[in-house]
Amino acid sequence: MLRADAEAPASVADSSQTGDDTVRSTPAASSAAGPVYPILMAICFCHLLNDMMQALVPAIYPLLKESYGLDFMQVGFITFTWQGMASLLQPVVGTYTDKYPKPYSLAFGMGFTLLGLVMIGYAHSYPMLLVSVAFIGTGSSIFHPESSRVARLASGGRYGLAQSIFQVGGNIGTAIGPLAAVLIVMRNGQASMSWFGACALLAAFVLWRVGGWYAGHLAARANRAARPVRETGLSRSTTLIAIAILISLSFSKSFYTASITSFFQFYVIDRFHVDVQTAQLYLFIFTGSVALGTLAGGPLGDRFGRKGVLLFSVLGTLPFSLALPYANLFWTGALIAMVGLILASTFSVIVVYAQELLPGKTGLVAGIFFGLAFGLSGLGAAVLGKIADMTSIAFVYQVCSFLPAIGVLVFLLPDIRSVERRG
């Protein structure tokens, strides 16, 4: 199915330097053929598998905490190691592949994830756990920048839609991860984590086929005349300020998300005295709503502009996050669903907005922002774990409830669409 579209990239626009489908002087050409949906569905599926395997790590924290006698700081440091590794490597991978695209690196990266899953299944010490999750983070660091580039190449000019299709696969995978942990790992023990290596092998096979499409795109590009990249018309200082604001929004989202993915199970257990399985179902409510919200964010940004969607998704979360620490069990489920639904639309819009600010640097942008998402989540987990040890898990959510207020910075972002119309 993927091979049938091998010639499709010829009608998908690309940049003069990197093979990226950036904002150019003839934008109509990029959208004439429309999105290459088989490729978008393929990377969406692989993103689902990748992030499902990633989500298994925090989903088994209660098991690891009991088995190894860990405190919250040590639990947070597992997240810090896993996501910190991904954070450090993703900008490096993105920058390198901007200059030297590697179509088959996507399949290669899954090998690290496979190794990490097998190791964590048979880990017998805390240091070995850290090494295992470091390999899983390395696999993710290779996957995200290049797959984000493939999404843009296959977008047919509908960048927000393509990024949302790609991103929603990851969110669905993140939602499935806790359920897989309940149904398989909690019933069969830590060793069953290695069983998910089969998912890594499946993803590697599909990504090898996607790599063939990507290589065909690069070959077609080499035979066409280079086309200039259209600038945004913004000054360097305005662009840097805008990037800094987007990083601040990523900080807000990532720290708040880290508080949910790493500690929400413990919060529900501690406050409402439910069992682990019930707590994981509440985590699924959050991750499931995130998947729904992500699918809407990109197309809404294409339709109404990135700035307005960012403003709604970040500030719109605030009333629900502020109410969450004081809600009963029923309303906790309802509020966490609304938080996930609204906040989820942020990330794909941030990535596309940053790609438009820095045309021709798709890999670098994806590496920075995916890396930031992982790094800030890891740092947030470590910091919040320490706060929980010093105070209480409930206090963590009282503090984090104010994080979406950082969204007021969206008012300072330039309107790229209006700049382009003047250009």
Six token digits for residue 171 = 């969110």
Half-sphere exposure of 13 (CA within 13 A, CB side): 25
Residue type, 326: Y
How many Cβ atoms sit within 10 Å of the Cβ of residue 391?
A: 12
Query: Mind listing the pLDDT tens digit of every residue in the chain (423 residues)?
Result: 454 343 333 333 333 344 444 333 333 333 446 888 999 999 999 999 998 998 888 888 888 888 888 888 888 788 788 877 877 787 788 778 777 888 888 898 899 999 999 999 888 899 999 999 999 989 988 888 888 888 888 888 788 788 888 888 887 887 788 788 888 888 888 889 999 999 999 999 999 999 989 888 777 766 655 554 556 678 889 888 998 899 888 888 878 887 887 788 889 998 999 888 788 788 888 877 877 777 766 677 677 667 877 878 778 889 999 999 999 999 999 999 999 888 877 777 788 888 888 887 776 777 777 766 666 666 777 788 888 888 988 898 898 899 889 888 888 888 765 444 444
> d(Cα 280, Cα 272) in Å, to the nearest integer?
13
Asked whether the beta carbons of 120 and 132 are under 8 A apart, the reply is yes
User: Which residue in 153, 209, 220 sits closest to 10, CA to CA?
Assistant: 220
Residue type, 338: M
Those residues whose C-beta lies under 8 Å from the C-beta of residue 62, and which sit 6 or more positions away, are 265, 266, 269, 276, 279
Residue ranges per structural domain of the chain: 10-422
CATH 3.30.750.24 describes domain 10-422: no
β-sheet bridge partners, residue 229: 24
